[in-house]
Amino acid sequence: MLTDTHAHLTSLEDPEGAITRAEQNGVTRIISISSDLPSAESTLEITEKHHNIYAAVGVHPHAAKTTTGEIIEEFEKLAKNHEVVAIGETGLDYFYMNSEKESQIESLVEHIGLARRMMLPLVIHVRDADQDLTELLRTENVSDRTGVIHCFTGNYDTAKIYLDMGFYISFSGIATFKKSEEIRDAAKKIPGDRILIETDSPYLAPVPHRGKKNEPAYVKHVAETIADVRGVKLDELAEITSANADSLFNLNAL
C-alpha cells in the first residue's frame, strides 16, 4: 500500500485516469494539493468522488501576493470538510520570486494561523529560503502545529533542523536523479517515523519517466529508490511511509 502525499490532481490532464492508474500500481491513497482557491474548490470536487483521495487547501508561495483575509476565510470554510487533511501548499520560494518576499512571508503566517485554528498540519514548500523559513517557523512557534517539508532537496543537516521542529520530510522524484546523492543521503539517515514519499504530480517525474508528465502511479519509483538507500524491502518502505501519512494527516480517523 503506497501513499502519494503530494500530488496536484487538478493540474493533470486526466485526473480520473491518473487515479485509476495509481490504484493499479498499488497507490491506495493520494493527498491532492491546491495552489489557490479555485484549485482548492476543484480538489474537493475530486475528493467527494473518491474515498481514498484527500485534500490540502492553501495558496502556493508563487501566488502569495493574492492571499487576502477574504481568501483565508474561504479556506477556513473549506477546511471544515472532513476530506481536508492539511493546510497548504504554502511556504517560501526565493528562486522564482513570483511573489515578493514580504507577500510570501505574510501569506505563510496567515496559513500557520489557519492551520492552528483548524488543528491541521502544514504542507510547506521551500526553495532557496531555508534560513528565512526556519527563523519564521521558530518565531511563530509551530511546535504545536507542524507538518511536512515537501519535495525535500537539501542535505541531512538541513533536514535535521526541520526534524527538530517536529516536521516530517517528504521525498519526490528528484531523489531518483543521478546527481541527487545528498538527497538520498538525507533519506537514508532520517528517522523511520518521519519520512514520506510523493510525486508532486504533474511535475518532477522520477527515473525512468524523467522529462514526462508525472502522475501518482510513479510514486512507486520514489519508494523503490528510498527503500534501496535505506536497505529495506519495498513493501516495508511502503508500510512505513503510509503509517507516517496516517499519523501526520490523521487518516485513520476518516
Q: Percent of the chain having pLDDT more than 90?
A: 96
pLDDT of residue 174: 98
pLDDT of 253 > 80? The answer is no
**Which of helix, strand or coil describes residue 50?**
coil
Query: CA nearest 105: which of 165, 64, 145, 146?
Result: 64
User: Residue 232 falls within a domain, yes or no?
Assistant: yes
Contact in structure between 124 and 90 (CB atoms under 8 Å)? yes
* Coarse DSSP helix, strand, coil percentages of the chain, rounded to the nearest 5 percent: 50, 20, 30
Cα–Cα distance for residue pair 40/74, rounded to 1 Å: 10
- Nine-digit cell at 254? 476518516
User: Residue 134 falls within a domain, yes or no?
Assistant: yes
- Write the pLDDT tens digit of every residue in 122-178: 999 999 999 999 999 999 998 888 899 999 999 999 999 999 999 999 999 999 999
pLDDT of 254 > 80? The answer is no
User: Residue 211 falls within a domain, yes or no?
Assistant: no
pLDDT of residue 197: 98
- Nine-digit cell at 90? 504554502
Q: 187: pLDDT confidence band, cut at 50, 70 and 90?
A: very high
What DSSP state is assigned to residue 56? E
The residues, any chain, with a CB within 8 Å of residue 49's CB and separated by 6 or more, are none
As for how many domains the chain has, the answer is: 1
CATH number of the domain that 200 lies in? Answer: 3.20.20.140
Neighbouring-strand partners of residue 147: 122
pLDDT of residue 143: 80
Q: Pairing between strand 53-57 and 84-93? A: parallel
Helices (H), ranges, 212-253: 219-230, 234-249
User: Residue 105 falls within a domain, yes or no?
Assistant: yes
- Write the pLDDT tens digit of every residue in 236-250: 999 999 999 999 999
Contact in structure between 238 and 225 (CB atoms under 8 Å)? no
User: Residue 212 falls within a domain, yes or no?
Assistant: no
Domain range for residue 234? 2-206+221-253
User: Residue 215 falls within a domain, yes or no?
Assistant: no
pLDDT of residue 242: 98
pLDDT of residue 74: 98
Give the pTM. Answer: 0.97
- Write the pLDDT tens digit of every residue in 61-85: 999 999 999 999 999 999 999 999 9
User: Residue 67 falls within a domain, yes or no?
Assistant: yes
Strand blocks (E) in the chain: 2-7, 27-33, 53-57, 84-93, 122-127, 147-149, 168-171, 195-197
Q: Percent of the chain having pLDDT more than 70?
A: 99
User: Residue 120 falls within a domain, yes or no?
Assistant: yes
- Say what angle helices 181-189 and 219-230 make with each other, to 10 degrees: 70
